[in-house]
Structure 1
Amino acid sequence: MEKNILVTTTEHIPGQEYEIIGEVFGLTTQSKNFAKNIGAGLKNLVGGEIKAYTELLTEARDIAIERLRHNASELGADAVVMMRFDSDSISADMETVAAYGTAVKFK
């Protein structure tokens, strides 16, 4: 049922009244494989989008949201409002992404 949990960046959900349950998080740290890391290094020489990094961050974002939904589900939430992302580089080829927000229960 985690897929049914609404995740929104807005504070209010139109037409819904809800009570706040608490804060929820989804966190992941991802790295590229060795071959993609070499390709990204070569792309860095000529410029342009480094698709391996874009794919890395997209995958990390999706996993973080999935884990956020799971955390909200464990608390009995119907939705997460005010969802935000935070990300940081741990090293040259590792990224951590956190999705966080406020879990709510519809009245």
Structure 2
Amino acid sequence: MTRTEPHDVPTAAELVAAVRDFLQSDVLPAVEGRVRYHTRVAVNVLGMVERELELGPAQAAEHAARLAELGVADDAELAAAIREGRVPDDGPLLAVLEQAVRAKLKVANPGYLTHD
């Protein structure tokens, strides 16, 4: 886990993981009904936050590099370029879009990915 100055241990991701583990291990087995459901939702949300903290910076850099290869600066510019027909509807565009969706799934729900 990368540390960011001036922050010491634990990192934000480690704190999120600790809360997620507590909810999953201690709270979830002790509650029922609506509270159990909301605890499961909180566990899932904290898992997403943890993965975004861990994967997000590298994913953002990789996405920016792929966009630059297409000659656009960001997602909004890519969308405009697609609408205006400035980006060919071929392999490079499809690869960028596929990688963007895969990155989102790695954070939101990695279980949906069939392979990596």
- TM-score normalised by the shorter chain: which range applies? 0.3 to 0.5
| Greater relative contact order (Cα < 8 A, sep 6+) | 1
Q: State TM-score, norm by structure 2.
A: 0.33
The structure with the largest helix share of the pair is: 2
The structure with the largest strand share of the pair is: 1
Highest Rg: 1 or 2?
2
Q: State TM-score, norm by structure 1.
A: 0.34
